[in-house]
Structure 1
Amino acid sequence: MKTSIGISPGNREVVAHELAKLLADEFVLYTKTLNAHWNLEGMDFHSVHLYFEDLYNQSAAIVDDVAERIRQLGHYAPATLKNFLQLTHLTEQDEDNNDSRSLIRKLLSDHESIIEFIRGNIDEFADAHNDAGTSDYITGLMEKHEKIAWMLRAHLK
């Protein structure tokens, strides 16, 4: 069925493609957060393990929301690991250092990377592609990542 929401097909396609990159980043971050939750070691295991559980639950909700936003624009969301790894700006974790500080630093870096990617698209979506709705949506998403990044930074003080 035709998507008729006041945004040209070309603009919806560009925005959906950028959101696909964001979805890939969010899914990779979700996976890395699960890794941190599952493989954490150290004296602060219990409290940080619970914190990481909260983070991966937040990430799962974000992944679903981004995919649904792509669908609202009339496009299909990428949904394979192969697609995610081709689209993501993030890198997979390859180190075995599983203390809380190391894991928090890695997660913080990824949240900050996503914040920068989102910030670079807010005005572009609204101004160049006539999609104020997605611009507003990613602004709210950026604020969520900023809050998480602040909390991760607080753990490193």
Structure 2
Amino acid sequence: MSTIGIKPDPQVTKFLTILLADEFVLYMKTRNAHWNVEGPDFGTMHIFFETQYNELATIVDETAERLRKLDHYATASLTEYLKLTHLTEHKLEKTDSMTFIKALLEDHESIIIHIREQLKKLEDSLDKGTEDFITGLLEQHEKTAWMLRAHLK
């Protein structure tokens, strides 16, 4: 039993640990876009990606803290993140904004799909606070995906 009265389910903490890895990898990929974007829209996109990585930094922190609230230690190793994540790391051949946007959109959509699948699978195991937290993350990724997708039209 956690100190806040929740009996953590190992499947839930495993999911949150994988989600933490996904969020951190996406955070770094977004930082990469911020640092390396080039082209006539550099200024605008540099700020756009900065906003996104700041939001992801908060998500990473809150995910780790949710794990701690469930009395589970948060992974904080790059090696472990790369083992746990279901996202793919790859070097992009181009550094223009559209290339970064497409890659980041793919990752946000992958996380959205993964969260929805896990919410259904873990429905009976989730405490209300964790369920609400994960639903909030889903909504944030949906909003970011929408914003990225809008750039591609």
Quick one: distance in 2 between partners of 1:62 and 1:45? Answer: 25
Aligned-residue offset at 1:54: 0.3
1:132 aligns with 2:132: no
Q: Is the 8 A contact 1:7 1:130 kept in 2?
A: no
Residues 1:4 and 1:125: Cα distance change in structure 2 (over 3 Å): farther
Aligned-residue offset at 1:132: 2.2
The one-letter code of the counterpart of 2:113 is E
The one-letter code of the counterpart of 2:23 is E
In structure 1, stretches of 5+ residues that fail to align are: none
Deviations 1:81-125 (A, max 9, x none): 011000000011222311000000000000000001111122333
Q: Is the 8 A contact 2:12 2:126 kept in 1?
A: no
The one-letter code of the counterpart of 2:92 is E
Q: Partner of 1:28 in structure 2?
A: 25
Quick one: distance in 2 between partners of 1:60 and 1:93? Answer: 21
Aligned-residue offset at 1:6: 4.5
Aligned-residue offset at 1:5: 4.3
3-state SS in 2 of match to 1:126: coil
Structure 1 vs Structure 2 CA RMSD: 1.4
Q: Partner of 2:116 in structure 1?
A: 119
The one-letter code of the counterpart of 2:53 is Y
The one-letter code of the counterpart of 2:115 is I
Q: Is the 8 A contact 1:115 1:146 kept in 2?
A: yes
Q: For residues 1-157 of structure 1, what are the structure 2 equivalents within 5 Å?
A: 3-9=2-8, 11=9, 13-127=10-124, 129-157=125-153
Quick one: distance in 2 between partners of 1:137 and 1:110? Answer: 20
In structure 2, stretches of 5+ residues that fail to align are: none
Quick one: distance in 1 between partners of 2:152 and 2:7? Answer: 45
Quick one: distance in 2 between partners of 1:48 and 1:30? Answer: 16
